[in-house]
A = this chain, B = another copy of it.
């Protein structure tokens, strides 16, 4: 299923993911849903701006601050759309 949303300029559309914590031994412990996740998958990327070439690409798993971005509901799903500058890291 393709997603028909094109973020404008330097924006990135993210599908938030419940974080899983993986211990050193490899056992995966799903994090309790107490906190709004700060981790998500990039599902669409804008074309950037004259002074901002995009770094992240569709499929990247990214980390972002707790209050970053604007929530968007689209075709029954919840997304976050934010400027690439609000993305902290790629994991």
Give the interface of A toward B (CB within 8 A). 1, 4-9, 11, 13, 19, 21-24, 38, 44, 46-47, 50-51, 55-56, 63, 65-66, 70, 72-76, 81, 84-85, 87-91
Most central of A9, A63, A89 by chain B CB within 10 Å: A89
Contact of A87 with B8 at beta-carbon distance under 8 Å, contacts A70-B65, A72-B38 already known: yes
Query: How distant is A71 from chain B, measured CB to nearest CB, in Å?
Result: 9
Contact of A89 with B8 at beta-carbon distance under 8 Å, contacts A63-B72, A65-B70, A70-B65 already known: yes
Query: How distant is A42 from chain B, measured CB to nearest CB, in Å?
Result: 12
**CB atoms of A91 and B5 under 8 A apart:** yes
